[in-house]
Amino acid sequence: MKIGIDKIGFYTPNLYVDMNKLAVARDVEPEKFTIGIGQEKMAVPPLTQDSVTMAANAALEIIDEVDKEAIDFVIFGTETGIDHSKSAAVYVHHLLGLHPNARSIEVKHACYGATAAIQMAKGHIALNPESKVLVLGSDIARYGLNTAGESTQGAGAVALIISANPKIMTLEDKSTYLTSDIMDFWRPIYSDKAFVNGKFSNEQYIAFFNTVWDKFKEETDMDLNDFEAICYHLPYTKMGLKALRTILDDVPEDVQEKLKANYQASTQYNRNVGNIYTGSLYLSLLSLLEEKSEDLDSGSRIGLFSYGSGAVGEFFTGVLEPNYQEHLYKNHHDELFASRKEISVSEYEEIFEETLPADGSNIELDINEDPAPICLSGITDNMRQYVNKLR
Ligand code: HMG
């Protein structure tokens, strides 16, 4: 039975900062951010967007009545969840009006969470071929103002429906993975900003990629020639390129050129959003499918490298279905990007410093400024209040 990605939705908040202007404000050459890091725009979430609302907004565009009846499992991958106990998936389940006979859980391992969710979803569909699983990857990447990590912040969510006989991509069975207890990036419970050993994290990302890629080649009869593209977890778009470059010499020049061109297409969305942690790899896949000037052939194999600091890495593959492009929401995503509003560096700094109360006090937020259908409207008696404006 074929199991894979049936639909992909995406959401990013409506505010962004231009990386050229952030560079000037931080007294670095703009090319460091736009070329050295590879980022053009950084999404900035207003207080009215959190990991729950972004995931619900990403899912809203792709879910129809048939999906609502069939989804019996919601798996929410995040490392910026809103509650230590209640899963973010339950909130999204309610906001979308899904069928009550469903499981709803949150999973965590840094940026790897959504990949864990997809693998779990595959197992569920194998046992229950009629059902569909809603997988969410949603995060706000925060390192702090004037930190080395600042240029790699971002915010957004990806929603995927995993089903039998998928319309976009069949996920193949072979997968290679690796766990090692390292401290390259972490966020203790008491902190709303990540701690990171930046250079070490870059080295480990590449070492993990090389290990799972070599294992994949050893355990299959495939090599780089079998791939149309490789999509990477993209904390910033130069990172995946560094990993890709370590294996490009394995193939002839023309294959190298094809892989590099497809890599560029797979980074367009991420370049304009920033790191969205759990959703980043799937945003890159979406970017490849929607931003590539010519459609890829059905049957094209795409490699997927997932990395979550701490660390877990995995390499797995998918094969494109015929007419996959007819099942994308490219127009919606073009509109989402086109309708965003640029804010100045000082406005971004102000928004960054505004945080929700952490002392149990109530707050009411103005959701009229936020064009998203689903928003956080406040906190009452320690309970987040969500609004779906479409209901
Ligand atoms: P930094 O120290 O500010 O930057 O930190 P740098 O000095 O290393 O420079 C960055 C690049 O810009 C270099 O290129 C420079 O040469 C280049 P490279 O040598 O690396 O190819 N550069 C220029 N290029 C053109 N023109 C110029 C110029 N000047 C310099 N004028 C760092 C960069 C990424 C370390 C920092 O932003 C950081 O710590 N970010 C957060 C950590 C991170 O993203 N790590 C990535 C791997 S770990 C991961 O992916 C997991 C993660 O997503 C979390 C999770 O799993 O949950 C982070």
- Residue 153 C-alpha to ligand 1 middle, in angstroms? 12
Measured CA angle at 196 (ends 236, 265), to 5 deg: 10
pLDDT above 90 as % of the chain: 99
pLDDT of residue 98: 97
Indicate the SS3 state at residue 28. coil
**Between the CA of residue 189 and those of 79, 122, 173, 240, what are the distances in Å?**
11, 31, 35, 29
* Atom from ligand 1 closest to the CA of residue 36: 12
What rounded mean pLDDT belongs to the chain? Answer: 98
Residue 21 has pLDDT above 90, yes or no: yes
Tokens of 268: 């367009």
Report the DSSP pairing between strands 341-342 and 374-380.
Answer: unpaired
Q: Is 196 in the pocket of ligand 1 (CB under 6 A)?
A: yes
pLDDT in tens, 363-387: 999 999 999 999 999 999 999 999 9
Average pLDDT over residues 156-184: 98
Please state the separation of Cα 161 from the chain's center in Å: 14
Q: Which of 152, 312, 314 to mutate to test the pocket of ligand 1 (most atoms within 8 A of CB)?
A: 152
Phi, psi of 140 (to 5 degrees): -115, 120
In which residue are the tokens 């976009």 written? 168
Taking Cα atoms as reference points, which of 127, 130, 132 lies closest to residue 74? 132
- pLDDT single digits (tens) 337-353: 999 999 999 999 999 99
- Cα–Cα dist 345/269, whole Å: 21
CA 138 to CA 144: how far, in whole Å? Answer: 19
Q: What is the pLDDT of residue 9?
A: 98
The CB of 152 under 6 Å from ligand 1? The reply is: yes
Residue with CA nearest ligand 1 atom 36: 149
* Percent of the chain with pLDDT strictly greater than 70: 100
What is the structure's pLDDT at 391? Answer: 85
Quote the tokens at residue 246. 């370590």
- Residue 114 has a pLDDT of 98
Read off the pLDDT of each residue in 220-230 and give the average, rounded to a whole number: 97
All residues at 6 or more sequence positions from 55 whose CB lies less than 8 Å from its CB, including other chains? 11, 76, 78, 88, 92, 136, 137, 138, 157, 159
Q: What is the DSSP letter of 253?
A: H
* β-pair type (15-18, 41-44): antiparallel
Any atom of ligand 1 within 6 Å of the Cβ of 32: yes
Over residues 110-160, the pLDDT tens digits come to 999 999 999 999 999 999 999 999 999 999 999 999 999 999 999 999 999
- To the nearest 10 degrees (0 to 180), the angle between helices 253-265 and 280-291 is 110
Asked if 233 is an active-site residue, the reply is yes
- 10 Å CB burial of residue 122 (0-12, 13-18, 19+) is middle
What is the predicted pLDDT for the residue at 144?
A: 98
What's the CA-to-centroid distance between 236 and ligand 1, angstroms? 8
Distance 35 CA to ligand 1 centre (A): 10
Distance 150 CA to ligand 1 centre (A): 10
Nearest residue to 377 via CA among 388, 366, 361: 366
pLDDT range class, residue 355, cuts 50, 70, 90: very high
pLDDT at 201 over 90: yes
In terms of Cα–Cα distance, which of 291, 272, 11, 4 is closest to 132? Answer: 4
Q: What is the pLDDT of residues 274-325, one digit of tens each?
A: 999 999 999 999 999 999 989 899 999 999 999 999 999 999 999 999 999 9
> By the 8 A CB rule, do 330 and 345 touch?
no
Selecting among 124, 233, 290, 333, the annotated active-site residue is 233
**Is the C-beta atom of 149 inside 6 A of ligand 1?**
yes
